[in-house]
Structure 1
Amino acid sequence: MPTETFEFQVEARQLLQLMIHSVYSNKDVFLRELVSNASDALDKLRLAALRDDLSDVDVSDLHIELEVDKEARTLTVRDNGIGMSYDEVTRLIGTIANSGTAKFLQELREAEDAAGADGLIGQFGVGFYSGFMVADEVTLVTRRAGETQGTRWTSRGEGTYTLETVEEAPQGTSVTLHLKPTDSENQLHDYTSAWKIREIVKRYSDFITWPVRLLPEPGEDGAEAGEPETLNSMKALWARPRDEVSDDEYHELYKHIAHDWREPLETIRLQAEGTFEYQALLFVPSHAPHDLFTQGYQRGVQLYVKRVFIMDDCEELLPPYLRFVKGVVDAQDLSLNVSREILQQDRHIRMIQRRLTKKVLATVKDLRTSAPERYATFWREFGPVLKEGLVTDSENRDAILAASSFATTHDADEPTTLQGYVERMKDGQKDIYFMTGESRRAIEDSPHMEAFRAKGVEVLLLTDAVDEVWVDAVGEYEGKPLRSVAKGEIDLDGDREEKTDAEKEQQDEEYAGLLGWMTEHLSEDVKEVRLSSRLTVSPACVVSDANELTPALENMYRAMGQEVPHAKRILELNPEHQLVKSLNRAYAEQQQDRSELTETADLLHALAVLAEGGRPKEPARFVKLVADRLERTL
């Protein structure tokens, strides 16, 4: 097949230009990425051989080679792994199909410092292109294991690349970087220097399972001709004693596994001994990935069996609500031919999942007291996803609640636990009160909060979408019902000054006519109009019945494609508000014609809807009514 020339995609072209022309504080990351890619290729070949997909392929000496040519100023990273076919090169190297590339470009441009920009490379899976930071030209030669022909890919990063088929190519992949010239200010980045190569590999790739070998140049001091030097220890960190592993080593392993440039928030080690042995090394990230809540998010940890890599993203080892956790699990007694179907049914895997889940939740809970600042970071980044478990994992619901915290009216800066809320409950208070909404400010300004604020009754302020669901699934805590301040009738028991029975009866009789007429007039939108015990300042509010869905939950289900009937709300009036008193007096005395009473009732309902963040049924008519009323008052 003749050599063909292709153009990069627009985003790929933009990415290359940023890497070629931007100034980075740490160019060394390119070698980390290329070695990591080579390691992945070796893992894939070993797995394919174990599954008998490639029975005729030699896997006795899988390794990564680094070769330097000082005269030609080239650095080659070579592996004898799975390799790529012509079509795979076209799909994976010639273009950038990663859906996160646009976000990567944006964050790369906006990175506050050069070090931050460097780290973004691994985060978005574009590590191969990092070679253009140090090279004027990159050549890739690859042959997929089991195939007879190879493929050569070449580019100078200037908008085009070439592809051609080669008849003779070793199995695996080699990437040759034609390095840019160095100058007096750039000697620390001389990647033809053996000491520099050793430093980078030791720093970033010491934990790689496969040997990373540096081929000596003829006559190189300290090395015999023909004898490669292995640069990495190849020790599995999870199998080494804790006191023999530094935090930096753990952090580099995390960065390799998670493709993240930041350090992890927490490292979790677990070793199970007995009839079924396994080791786990888990990491809690310090930030949530941009695609954490998307359907295609790759979750799960790496699974090894007797230190042999089996699969990435093993979903069966942790529940979906812990999908942000990264790490490694190394089991001793699983079959090397294990498949995802087998994993779903394997009792040992289910046992590991239960143990890991409890360990992660206990670690998060302990962070709240041992490292409050790190816990605050965790909850800000992962609180919404952790609370999904309150809906889906009844077995661990108590542990999830113990690890959770919630914003509260008790303290504007310090969130609370449910246990803390219960300990502060007023005498005679039977319920744990909460309200859901888009933001803390929106909830605090809601009319539903007025009586609670006036009486000093604490309310949980829940602003995540999942909060609409889990409060119903949990229902109660330590025998105390979870009660929405925006649903049903509210009676603050001994915390409010009760009217006498005679005063209540008189008030009910006084407003009976108005309430009946407004219920009939607004029947298309509300099921009932009644007097409120939750309002102290606002004239009206709308509430849901105790057992009905809130509007936000209705919208959530509809967004997921589920049909739910629209539930009519209840309109509550504040009998102590002057507007409501005037409306009732006008209705009783018929001082206004019925059309003006109708307009006032419509305005009162629309104002209540607006106050909770909703939208009036007829916005244009509402605006006209308000304008007309304002005009008459001037």
Structure 2
Amino acid sequence: MSQTFRVDLRGIVDLLSHHLYTSPQVYVRELLQNAVDAITARQTAYEADAAYETDADDADGVATRPPAPRIAIASSDTTGDGSLTISDNGIGLSEAQVHELLATIGRSSKRDDLGFARHEFMGQFGIGLLSCFMVSDAIEVTTRRAGEPTVLWRGFSDGAYAVEPAPADRQREETGTTVTLRPRPGCEHLLTRRAVTGLVEHYGARLPHPVTVDGEPVTGGPAPWDRPEDETEAARRDRLEAYCEEVFGFAPFDVIDVATAEAGLRGVAFVLPMPANPAVPAAHRVYLKQMLLSEGAERLLPEWAFFVRCVVDTSELRPTASREALYEDSLLEATRDTLGDRLRGWLVRLSRQEPARLRAFLRVHHLGVKALALHDDDMLRLVAEFWPMETNVGPLTLSEFGERYGLLRFTPLLDEFRQLAPVAAAQGLAVLNAGYVYDAEIIDRLASVDRALEVEQLRAADLTTHLQRLDTADEQAIAPFLAVADRVLDRLGCDLLVRSFEPSGLPALYLLDEDTAFQLDVRGTREQVDDTWSAILGSFQAATAPRPRLVLNHRNPLARQVLALADPELQAMCLEGLYAQALLLGHHPLRPADTAALNQSFLGLIGRAVAGGAQ
């Protein structure tokens, strides 16, 4: 059996008026929006020469030109009874429209009942008016449409409303609407002159229609997106920089004009002069038809553009129901792409016209540009040409490195670069550090775009192929001592390798590649978890676990002396000391076994030295 929902109207009103909006202060914005929409409707009706726009006393039935738009607010400081009124000379409503529009929650009234395109208006009469219930338990609307009598509508927070002809003292002589609010307990301060003026300046100072509070005009000067004819470019730049410091709290690195016709959007983007956190969504200041919509609108720009803050005005993007954010749809997505193209073009222009300024920008915001380079060829070339990367032969761009050495040899891990860089440089191998965010991916993508570019990844295990092997005589000379060394290092899970390499001042080198490090982590974790997790982790462990290598440098006098020691105990302590030093030089973490070896070697050698000195 089909039935209809039973609706608790008081609950619906409470839900929408107290939970749809984030703050009771938005009631001023909603009232201003309704007033602006009413004025827009009247102007549009005149332009269309609509018959219902004629005044009652216009005998010949010709539509009269609307008077100059006017929105007047009287605060509780001047009304005398603690109330607030806002009056406009817009189109007004007939009694039938009052019943239909003010008492219907959620209906898209602007198109259906006024007969005009929806995008010309900011909001909906019914929904916007609900915000007033956050500061008042009752709302009175006195309205007159051309050729109709004045109507008085009273709405209450319990969902009830009443409509009647306006009494003699509430009659309106001109077309338009007046909304009256009386504060609910605790909200009196929100209807005072000081509070209302501040809210009008905050939300409506950029509106195209004059707004007064207690007879005083509220104006905000030129909007950021405006270009007054008598203002020079330098003066506009100074004005925008001052605006940015006032609103966003920083002096911009640069100011970029942005626009997209499809969204009716115009505005400016301010480039941050300091690094921004990519994980924190950028918050932008968005106006809808010159009314402030949000100070913290997100997803207006692509995710990679976290280095700018925007202030824009749009006429076509849709707001959410509370009109405090932008509605995610295909138009917003297209707008985001267009604005991203504008920022990309600014970067390309800097690379061609102001390369020094681009380098200054990259020093601050390289993360955002590198993120974009993973998907955009122009940005990829820009990064390759202008962003200096860390190498073991000094800072070089990818283009400079490729031209000088013929290929891009890199290590993908920061710790791996630190341990390999000095040794590789001594062998004549130039190596890029691709251990920072996006660097390895950028090198891979550069190789996929430019097929002629040679790329080589240098791993710790690969470096041994570039180190000189000992000749036969030297290998035979150290053979008796290798067995002792192998036993010492085996306890530490490490293999020994003896090579001859530069720099000769480096006695030992600890080589641990990514695969070996992963296997060591799996093995260590299995020893600390229960049987179930140990079995799961066992599926990731290789049958033959690789081991890191300690490479002793035969060109180093100290390393040769250690290998030639006849005392096994002293040789063991020296090997443990060289092992610990190689770990520290390579920035590797010390396991408990490594710390024990370091302490044992240090204390043992001190003991030997003290005993020898006593003799």
8 Å contact from structure 1 (residues 303, 329) kept in 2: yes
- Is the alpha carbon distance of 1:304 and 1:43 closer, same or farther for their aligned partners in structure 2, counting shifts above 3 Å? farther
User: 1:147 is matched with which residue: 134, 144, 157?
Assistant: 134
- Aligned-partner SS, 2:258: strand
Query: Matched residues in 2 for 1:170 and 1:578: separation?
Result: 83
- Is the alpha carbon distance of 1:231 and 1:342 closer, same or farther for their aligned partners in structure 2, counting shifts above 3 Å? closer
User: 1:269 is matched with which residue: 257, 265, 275?
Assistant: 257
> Match of 2:598?
622
> Match of 2:303?
320
- Is residue 209 from structure 1 mapped to residue 192 from structure 2 by the alignment? no
Deviations 1:216-253 (A, max 9, x none): 9xxxxxxxxx8534543343526778966611122133
User: 1:530 is matched with which residue: 473, 497, 505?
Assistant: 497
8 Å contact from structure 1 (residues 449, 485) kept in 2: no
Query: Matched residues in 2 for 1:48 and 1:299: separation?
Result: 26
In the TM superposition, residue 611 of structure 1 has moved relative to its aligned partner by 0.7
User: 1:577 is matched with which residue: 544, 556, 559?
Assistant: 556
- Is the alpha carbon distance of 1:584 and 1:356 closer, same or farther for their aligned partners in structure 2, counting shifts above 3 Å? farther
Equivalent positions of 1:72-111 (< 5 A) are none
8 Å contact from structure 2 (residues 370, 438) kept in 1: no
User: 2:194 is matched with which residue: 174, 186, 210?
Assistant: 174
Equivalent positions of 1:463-612 (< 5 A) are 467=436, 470-471=439-440, 474-475=443-444, 477-478=446-447, 480=453, 487-490=460-463, 518=485, 521-523=488-490, 525-526=492-493, 528-531=495-498, 535-537=502-504, 538-545=506-513, 569-586=548-565, 591-593=566-568, 595-612=569-586
Equivalent positions of 1:44-83 (< 5 A) are 44-45=26-27
In the TM superposition, residue 545 of structure 1 has moved relative to its aligned partner by 2.2
> Match of 2:527?
none
Deviations 1:125-157 (A, max 9, x none): xxxxxxxxxxxxxxxxxxx8323469xxxxxxx
User: 1:423 is matched with which residue: 403, 407, 427?
Assistant: 403
- Is the alpha carbon distance of 1:457 and 1:543 closer, same or farther for their aligned partners in structure 2, counting shifts above 3 Å? same
8 Å contact from structure 1 (residues 286, 377) kept in 2: no
Deviations 1:485-528 (A, max 9, x none): 663313898xxxx96x9x66776777678667656643565554
- Is the alpha carbon distance of 1:148 and 1:334 closer, same or farther for their aligned partners in structure 2, counting shifts above 3 Å? closer
| Structure 1 vs Structure 2 CA RMSD | 5.7
Query: Matched residues in 1 for 2:220 and 2:32: separation?
Result: 25
> Match of 2:336?
353
8 Å contact from structure 1 (residues 321, 386) kept in 2: yes
- Is the alpha carbon distance of 1:268 and 1:388 closer, same or farther for their aligned partners in structure 2, counting shifts above 3 Å? same
Please tell me the residue identity of whatever aligns with 2:399.
Q
8 Å contact from structure 1 (residues 432, 482) kept in 2: yes
Please tell me the residue identity of whatever aligns with 1:363.
W
Q: Which runs of 5+ in 1 are unaligned?
A: 1-39, 69-77, 81-143, 151-163, 178-203, 217-225, 555-562
- Is the alpha carbon distance of 1:627 and 1:401 closer, same or farther for their aligned partners in structure 2, counting shifts above 3 Å? same
- Is the alpha carbon distance of 1:63 and 1:341 closer, same or farther for their aligned partners in structure 2, counting shifts above 3 Å? closer
> Match of 2:274?
287
8 Å contact from structure 1 (residues 149, 166) kept in 2: no
- Is the alpha carbon distance of 1:63 and 1:532 closer, same or farther for their aligned partners in structure 2, counting shifts above 3 Å? farther
Query: Matched residues in 2 for 1:524 and 1:51: separation?
Result: 78
- Is the alpha carbon distance of 1:539 and 1:240 closer, same or farther for their aligned partners in structure 2, counting shifts above 3 Å? farther
Deviates more, 1:623-632 or 1:248-257: 623-632
Deviations 1:450-479 (A, max 9, x none): 3444356544457xxx71664257536345
User: 1:432 is matched with which residue: 409, 419, 443?
Assistant: 409
In the TM superposition, residue 606 of structure 1 has moved relative to its aligned partner by 0.7
In the TM superposition, residue 265 of structure 1 has moved relative to its aligned partner by 0.3
> Match of 2:216?
228
Please tell me the residue identity of whatever aligns with 2:557.
Q
Query: Matched residues in 2 for 1:489 and 1:356: separation?
Result: 46
User: 1:449 is matched with which residue: 416, 421, 424?
Assistant: 421
Please tell me the residue identity of whatever aligns with 1:421.
F
In the TM superposition, residue 535 of structure 1 has moved relative to its aligned partner by 4.5
Query: Matched residues in 2 for 1:313 and 1:46: separation?
Result: 19
Please tell me the residue identity of whatever aligns with 2:426.
A
In the TM superposition, residue 325 of structure 1 has moved relative to its aligned partner by 1.3
Please tell me the residue identity of whatever aligns with 1:269.
D
In the TM superposition, residue 272 of structure 1 has moved relative to its aligned partner by 3.6
Query: Matched residues in 2 for 1:597 and 1:404: separation?
Result: 51
- Is the alpha carbon distance of 1:169 and 1:357 closer, same or farther for their aligned partners in structure 2, counting shifts above 3 Å? closer
- Is the alpha carbon distance of 1:469 and 1:215 closer, same or farther for their aligned partners in structure 2, counting shifts above 3 Å? closer
8 Å contact from structure 1 (residues 207, 234) kept in 2: no
- Aligned-partner SS, 1:326: strand
- Is the alpha carbon distance of 1:234 and 1:568 closer, same or farther for their aligned partners in structure 2, counting shifts above 3 Å? farther
Query: Matched residues in 2 for 1:515 and 1:375: separation?
Result: 56
Query: Matched residues in 2 for 1:581 and 1:330: separation?
Result: 75
Q: How many residues align?
A: 435
8 Å contact from structure 2 (residues 244, 252) kept in 1: yes
- Aligned-partner SS, 2:299: helix
- State the identity %: 14
> Match of 1:254?
244
Please tell me the residue identity of whatever aligns with 1:580.
A
Please tell me the residue identity of whatever aligns with 1:571.
L
Please tell me the residue identity of whatever aligns with 1:416.
L
TM-score normalised according to structure 1 size: 0.52
TM-score normalised according to structure 2 size: 0.54
Query: Matched residues in 2 for 1:363 and 1:513: separation?
Result: 68
